[in-house]
Chain A
Amino acid sequence: MQLIRLWILTTAKRLNRSARYKHVKKNINEILNNPENPFKKYIDLVMMFFIITSVAILVYEVQHAVPEWMDAYDIYFVSSVFLVEYLLRLWVHTDLYKMVISASKRAHILEIEFSLRVPMIKAIKKTAKYMLTPAMIIDFLAILPAYRELRILRVFVLFRVFKLLRYTKSINQFVEVLQNKRFELLTLLFLLMFVMVTAGIAIYIFEEHLNPQINSLFDALYWALVTIATVGYGDISPVTHEGRVVSMIIIVTGIAMISFATSVIVSAFSEKLIQLKESRIIEQVNKSEEFLLICGYGQMTKMFMRQRESDDHDYVILEKDKDKYNQAIKDGYDAVKEDASRHDTLAKFNVEYSRITILCLLNSDIENIYISLNAKSVSHHIRVIARASNASMVQKFKRAGVDHVLLPNSVATMMMQTAIIEPHLYKAAHAILTGKDVAVFDEVRLYPEDALVGKRVKEISFKKMRLLLMAIEKAEDREFLFNPSSDTVLKSGDVLILMGYRIGLEYFKEFYHESVK
């Protein structure tokens, strides 16, 4: 006994030290339970495939004989996959070794004898509690059909359908909606029971001896339910006046109750609809590798959205003000009514696996700085581009960790001055800075297999494509070589900075990048 205790303690300590063990456990937990994990999606799809094939075989089996391999697949293979999954879930849920270690520490500090009983009981309690959650019960029932001796257990294959709930979120949301209206629906159910029992007893008393179809209280209750539900098979019908009066009353009550139940469910859904839509937008965007979070739907955001060239849904607008949120929805953008300065809001997004850029475009420096800090505290990987009201604020934004600071006011003032002092230059600068089609800046990155690599600048017909080679960002030191000479040789990794017509740039990219292949 002493030996076993010692062995368990040393094992626990070894596991606690092993980074690999923790890493594996954490990864398995992520894949099973973290909806943001990119691999979970695939595991879920595979599991759904197993479930659907398994149920399909059962349905087919009802009338046909199935080949043996199919039976074996269904009974042994799928069941063992489920068993493994079940055991893994139990494994990752409880950390026994941690409990053992904390108990041993406690024993050490209090100078009492270390006993395995306390951590064991604690772990068993925790596991048992977890096993009794509905999802785990269903998982357990889905494994049962593997025990062939009991034919009845075959029916439990149907529980595998419930298992689908684990892998599809929309059904969960449906259940959630109903759960929110639990009180109303339960009240209604009790009312229904009450009316059904009263009416059933009434008809039983009135017609027990007069109506040959009503022989027991069960018949009476059955009749009452069929009538209340407005189904009315007509296999049992009242024959006395008293009985018919009861029917009339419960038919009216029935209609009222059905419409009430319907309205409760419908209103629950319409209340949830916005929330469902929002969570769908968030889920959708979380799937993309790279996306934008735009805080605030003000003038700046409107301008930004207007200038967007693509129709991709790789962005979400976060707006806490109701009117502005409605405006964004009306303008056809993906918006969520959330406060970006709250930690929870940003934590909903896939900060671990996606590259997120957050744009703080609100009209207030205080808000923008707060959101920037919030974003950086959620994850350092989030890139922040923020708007500042004037140049004196830039330092503060930089200290908050903002990657790029925008200064719309000073830029506009500068443009204004240029327009007054050098009107022609203004036109050039304006066209370039606002990305007008006549003068677009763009860059072309050269890859090793590119046709342009090794060529001299003069060999490339920039002029023919109406492009101006402004500079080359050299691969060696990432420095700009301004106005490169015509003898400059292009290397892989260089970035060409070109200016010209949008069509010219597109053509250039097509022409040189296509010719590679």
Chain B
Amino acid sequence: MNRKIFLFGYGKHGRAIAKGLMGKGFRLSIIESDKKNHKASKADGFTDTILFDVTDDDNLEALVVAPEDELICVMDDEHLNVFLALSLRPLFPECYILAISGSIYTSQKLLMAGADKVIDLYEVSANRIHNLLKRPVSTRFLDKILSDNNGFSFREIEVPEGSFLNGVMVEDVNFYVCRVLLIGLVDLGQGEHFRFITSGDEYTLDSGDQIVCLGMDKDLDNFEAMIKKSEETICVWPS
């Protein structure tokens, strides 16, 4: 993983995100305009933290950013966030810009300013209320999957080079035996979009494709180890 993460803002959200990324092998650079937040980031043990005025383009230009790097805008001030996204876009046209938003209107503005992805604070939670009211059982199920400590999780797995899955149709793989559930995949042969398995189209797995599975952690571990092998029959339906 070579890409570097530039985290603009070490406030309410920035702090939690930075801590979540800690120890996961990312190169992280924290940029702040606020002295207090900057100090807090130092105190939390981040070494690559910079303090400067993000509204000044000269400062931003001085950053060493490679095209594959990601820029995360999570300043506490929403207006500043929009301004920052707008400034970053022309400076680093190839970078992926991710921003957080606290209202529908800000989301729209952030997208217009050039953010690639905007995460709305309330979108997920509001949907959760709808689900709680309308689909109580499936919500309980989702909660169970998503809570950290039950051994269940979603996992993104890359089909390794030389795996027996190479060139196999998705239909022909018996995921049930491996006790995992395939949710969707990125079939590089058909573009970089994520596709849900329920779309009904036919996909052929190749090395480099990403598959997203759901299951118990240990089953996912087994599965991941298994698909590294070049010969495996248990997982493929006998034709």
Contacts and interface: CB of A to CB of B under 8 A. Distances in A.
A427 B211 CA distance: 12
Nearest to A499: B198
Interface in A388-436: 404, 406-417, 419-422, 424-425, 427-435
Contacts of B198: 438-439, 466-468, 499-501, 504
Nearest to A418: B154
Interface in B203-227: 210, 212, 214-216
Contact of A408 (B16, B122, B216): B122
B154 A421 contact: no
A262 to B, nearest CB: 44
B130 interface: yes
A193 to B, nearest CB: 60
A443 B131 CA distance: 10
Contacts of A420: 5, 17, 21, 26, 70, 72, 98
Contacts of B135: 441-443
Contacts of B154: 425, 428-429
B197 interface: yes
B168 interface: no
A304 B131 CA distance: 11
Interface residues of A, number: 65
Given A306-B104, A412-B119, A468-B181, A434 B127 contact: yes
Contacts of B128: 406, 411, 433
B142 A304 contact: no
Residue among A416, A433, A483 having the largest count of chain B Cβ atoms under 10 Å: A416
A346 interface: no
Q: What class of interface size applies to chain B in its complex with A?
A: 35 or more
B126 A303 contact: yes
Contacts of B121: 299, 408-409, 412
Contacts of A387: 125
Contacts of A497: 137-138, 141
Interface string A290-329: 0010000001101110111100000000000000000000
A417 B180 CA distance: 24
B40 interface: no
A422 B120 CA distance: 18
B117 interface: yes
Contacts of B130: 304, 307-309, 435
Given A409-B12, A466-B199, A428 B125 contact: no
Contacts, number: 178
A495 interface: yes
Contacts of B179: 483
A299 B103 contact: yes
Contacts of A435: 127, 130-131
A461 to B, nearest CB: 12
B125 A419 contact: no
For B124, B183, B197, the residue with the greatest tally of chain A CB atoms inside 10 Å of its CB is: B124
A445 B137 CA distance: 9
B102 interface: yes
A422 B26 CA distance: 12
A502 B123 CA distance: 18
Contacts of B183: 428, 439, 468, 499
B33 to A, nearest CB: 20
Nearest to A299: B103
Contacts of A413: 13, 16-17, 20
A293 B171 CA distance: 47
A480 B144 contact: yes
Contacts of A94: none
Given A424-B210, A428-B184, A497-B138, A416 B12 contact: no
A91 to B, nearest CB: 43
Contact of A292 (B12, B127, B133, B138): B133
A441 B100 contact: no
Nearest to A431: B196
B13 A421 contact: no
Given A303-B120, A406-B129, A443-B135, A428 B196 contact: yes
Contacts of A409: 12-13, 16, 121
Given A420-B98, A480-B144, A499-B198, 13 more contacts: A302-B104, A412-B120, A416-B74, A417-B17, A421-B21, A424-B186, A435-B130, A443-B137, A468-B197, A473-B141, A483-B215, A497-B137, A501-B199
Interface of A: 292, 299-300, 302-304, 306-309, 357, 359, 385, 387, 404, 406-417, 419-422, 424-425, 427-435, 438-439, 441-443, 445, 466-468, 470-471, 473, 480, 482-483, 485-486, 495, 497, 499-501, 504
12 contacts: A303-B104, A304-B122, A309-B130, A409-B16, A411-B128, A412-B13, A413-B17, A420-B70, A421-B24, A435-B130, A441-B142, A443-B137
